[in-house]
Structure 1
Amino acid sequence: MAEDFDKVFAGLRQLMLGAASGMTVAKDDPGSLELRTPTIDPKTKQPGWFGTVTIKKTYVAYHLMPLYTHPEVAEGISGELAKRKQGKTCFNFARIDEALFDELARLTKVCVRLVDR
């Protein structure tokens, strides 16, 4: 299973890096990618959170933090992608699904535009 998760992680990592090319890579370790926004969060005085891809015990988590402040963006996602959503910002995958990855890439690009406002 871990080998499969490595492949899922690799696919989601590439997806996030490609769709969110304007974000700053804060961490890029095996099994863990963290992207920050180029803008400074007024509360923390640090670059804001954009997203993460992380291997967990039973899935690979894909977080898009702009969905926390703009939940309406996720209202138009497909039922299949909605089944993968946990909480406000996280999508969980245990295997590669090209159609859902394509939809997630489009959603990530929308989130990038929200950060650029």
Structure 2
Amino acid sequence: MADDFADVYARLRTIMLEAAPAMTINRDEAGALELRMPGIDPKTKQPGWFGTVTTKKSYVAFHLMPLYTAPDLADDISPALAKRKQGKTCFNFKNVDNVLFEELSALARRCAAT
């Protein structure tokens, strides 16, 4: 894991874990956290994906899979957080941003409540 992303990853990992305490940890190792939902996905017969935090080569990715099926959960995000969004479910960060991390935490809690 890149040293400069270690703090970003640590903060995003904490946000994910605190926002979704009912989720099951599928993987938790340096640079990679994966959470699964308690219910079984009818297509895969496995617990559905909730989210991941993953250190990549040039950023740390924060995925919230409920946004794929319920994109309206992110309808009210700020333009600054929207700039970090890649695709339907992923937000990328290179630096710690306390304001955006607070907003992301609220979004993750909304996703966990669905």
- For Structure 1 versus Structure 2, the TM-score category normalised by the shorter chain is over 0.9
Instruction: For residue 3 of structure 2, give the secondary structure of its aligned residue in structure 1.
Output: helix
Percent same amino acid at aligned positions?
Answer: 63
What is the TM-score when the length of structure 2 is the normalising length? Answer: 0.98
Q: Which residue in 2 is equivalent to 1:6?
A: 6
Q: Which residue in 1 is equivalent to 2:29?
A: 29
Gaps of 5+ in 1: none
What is the TM-score when the length of structure 1 is the normalising length? Answer: 0.95
Question: Partner letter of residue 73 of structure 2?
Answer: V
Which has the larger share of helix? Answer: 1
Q: Structure 1 segments of 4 or more deviating over 6 A? A: none
The Cα of 1:66 is off from its aligned counterpart by 0.1
Q: Write the distance in 1 (CA, Å) between the matches of 2:29 and 2:56.
A: 14
Q: Which residue in 1 is equivalent to 2:113?
A: 113
Write out aligned runs for 1:49-88 (5 A).
49-88=49-88
CA RMSD of aligned residues (A): 1.0
Matched length: 114
Gaps of 5+ in 2: none
